[in-house]
Every structure is written in C-alpha cells, then in structure tokens.
Amino acid sequence: MVRSDLDRGIVNVGNMYRFHKVFERLDAGKETTIVFLGGSITQDCNASMHELCYAFRTYDWFRRKFPSAKINYVNAGIGGTTSQFGVARVEDDVLSHDPDAVFVEFSVNDSNNKKFEETYESLLRKILLYKTEPAVFTFNNVQYDDGVNAQDVHNEVARHYSLPIVSMKDSIYREILLGHFTSEDVSTDNLHPNDVGHGLLADVICNLLETIFDQYALGNIESQPYAVPDATVTEAGYADSKRIRNEMTLLGSFTSKDVTVDDRVQNGARDCFKKGIFFNSEDSYVSLKLTFKKLSLQYLKKFAERMPLAAVYVDGKKMAVLDGNFDENWDCLYLHDICCFETEEEHSIRIETDNIPADCTQKFYLVSIITC
C-alpha cells in the first residue's frame, strides 16, 4: 500500500502533546515503556513468529526512530477478550508497568453497541488518568469478509478524547473492496492477519505515527498540555471494575468445600488460565459476600474435553449456569455477565458445581469474579 492508501486509514490525528512528550523522552535517552492491549490479533495470532505481529513491528518503528533509546516492550494481548475485561485487568497488565504509551484495540471483539461504547470509554479514561500520563493510540481492526467492527462507537469515544485513530476498515478492507488484493492475501480466516496482514496493519499504524513524528521533527510541538475531558460520552460506569481471583479466599466472608486454590505463577498476560479456583467434585462450592452494582464471572471454556457446569446464586436466587464446554476450536477465557442492580450494595454469591457429565475429563475452573 502506498502513502495515499495508508492515509485513508487516518480517522483522527488527535492531540499530539503526549506523543511529542514520548518522543522528547526517547530523544533524551530516558527509559520508555510501550504497551499493547487487545485481543488475539495483539497477542500475535496467525503470525508465523511473534516478531512479525503488528505489535512488535510497531515497537520496532520506535526502535528504528530512536536507536539509542532503551525501550521496554509489553504485549498484553489476550485472545477472545473485550474491552469489558480490558478495563478490569488494565491495572495488572498495563498500568503496573508505568507505561509511557499504550496502543489499544478491541474493535473486532467488542460489539458495535452502547454497552461496549461504555466499557471502551471506561478503559480509555482509566489509562489516560494514570499517573504517568501515557500517550494513547487507538485503532480499529476489521473482519475482512464483511467489514464488521465496532469502530462507530469506539471512534466516537476516541474523538471525544482527541486521540489518534486509524482504521483497517477504511484502509486495508477498502483495498479488498477495490480488488487490489483479496481477504485471503491478508488473513487465514477473514479475521486474524497472516504475516502480510500484520505487516499492513503495522504500516497503517506507523503511517500515523510518522505524521505525528514529522510535526515533532519540524518543531511544531503541541504546547498546550493534554487535559482529559471531565465530560464523558457514556456513564463510563465500568471504570471502577475490580478483578478478584484466588485472593477471594482471603475475604472474611469466604467459605468453600472441595475446591483447590490455583497458586501457579502466571507468566505474563497471555498465560491467563492461572490464579483461579478449581472445583474438584459434584459437591464443590464457594460462597462469599461482595459489594457491587454489576457482577460478571470469568471461567475456562474448553473445546476438546468434556467440562462440568456450575450454577450461580445471588442472594439465594439462581441467576445463571456456567457451561465449561466450548464449541469452537480453542480454549476460551469466557466472561459471563450475571446481574446488574440499580445501586451498589452488598450481595451474597454462591457458585457450586451443577452437573458433571459421566464422561467429564476436567474440573470446572473459575478464573475470576469481576465487579463494578
């Protein structure tokens, strides 16, 4: 793709102040941390090696621009996850690294609706308000067969915060519609880029980075410090999301029967099936009290083996059944919304084994409880 094709992907240049501060930091030789947050494409799905995924290639753009700088690269991509989970884990997986720049992408995992507009805004606000005042870059991946993504709601939010935005729908997908190449040229499944697709994705991102850098190099530096708007597009009600994993056993109200706490060491964000709780038998349960308005539970769904089911009770009322069986060809870190109340109050939660099929080969695995 030539520069004019790449330019079509620029949705918004945004306020350049924070990125110009990042460039100043790199020029001064200060240690700089860049984090990539998203789903399976960010994680590196279908790249033949990690160094060929878009995230690493974008990081490499910084290395080539500033060869003398010490740049830390953090990849916080987890396949099959949305911005709803992103805002719940952003403290552990992103902000704990004290980032200077964060690249955020959930446009093919989020749906194009008001709920995910709110979770996305909650996530962006949480990053933007962090003490290191990181620069934030947003972009929209796309399904290459039909052009579906969540960029309408995502970009409304990102424009409100004057953030850089690029769209693969307006660039790579448009090239497919024009017949310049096919979806098979860039993706194996019309969603996850192959090596060529990851390269094009990085090109679209780095093209806007070049635009921002050119202004910096010319001395046209944003002089007015960036201010996070007080006004919000949505209620941004997920900004206070809390993720509770095996530390739930330390709560004074916690009781259980025949469960095993998973204390295995987690090796990075993508090593995500850790720090939860195993339900060992048909009599297993956990019970606790938490204060929340919204409640979601996250658990392992497996595709290749028979899994148990678990029932969820809130204040004694059965609210949901969690099915650990998955009908796709990968293991899923599934997030199940359980209930939502009008006000934040204390509630009792009980999760118990509901059904263990005779041919079951695995234990039910509760990864985390998420409240807000």
**Residue-by-residue pLDDT tens, the chain, 372 positions:** 888 889 999 999 999 999 999 999 999 999 999 999 999 999 999 999 999 999 999 999 999 999 999 999 999 999 999 999 999 999 999 999 999 999 999 999 999 999 999 999 999 999 999 999 999 999 999 999 999 999 999 999 999 999 999 999 999 999 999 999 999 999 999 999 999 999 999 999 999 999 999 999 999 988 789 999 999 999 999 999 999 999 999 999 999 999 999 999 999 999 999 999 999 999 999 999 999 999 999 999 999 889 999 999 999 999 999 999 999 999 999 999 999 999 999 999 999 999 888 889 899 999 999 999
Plot region of 173 (φ>0 → left; ψ -120 to 50 → alpha; else → beta): alpha
- Degrees to nearest 5, angle at CA 217 with 215 and 220: 40
**CA distance linking residue 54 with residue 57, whole number of Å:** 5
Domain with CATH 2.60.120.260 in the chain: 242-371
**Whole-number Å distance between alpha carbons of 34 and 206:** 14
| CATH 3.40.50.1110 residue ranges for the chain | 3-217
Superfamily of domain 242-371: Galactose-binding domain-like (2.60.120.260)
DSSP character string of 163-229: --EEESTTTHHHHHHTTSS-HHHHBSSSSSB-HHHHHHHHHHHHHHHHHHHHHHHTT----SPP---
Domain made up of 3-217: CATH architecture: 3-Layer(aba) Sandwich (3.40)
258's torsion region: left (phi>0), alpha (psi -120 to 50) or beta?
left
Looking at the DSSP bridge assignments, the partners of residue 33 are: 72
- CA–CA dist 234, 240 (Å, integer): 14
Assigned token pair, 340: 């939502």
Contact (Cβ atoms closer than 8 angstroms) between residue 183 and residue 145: yes
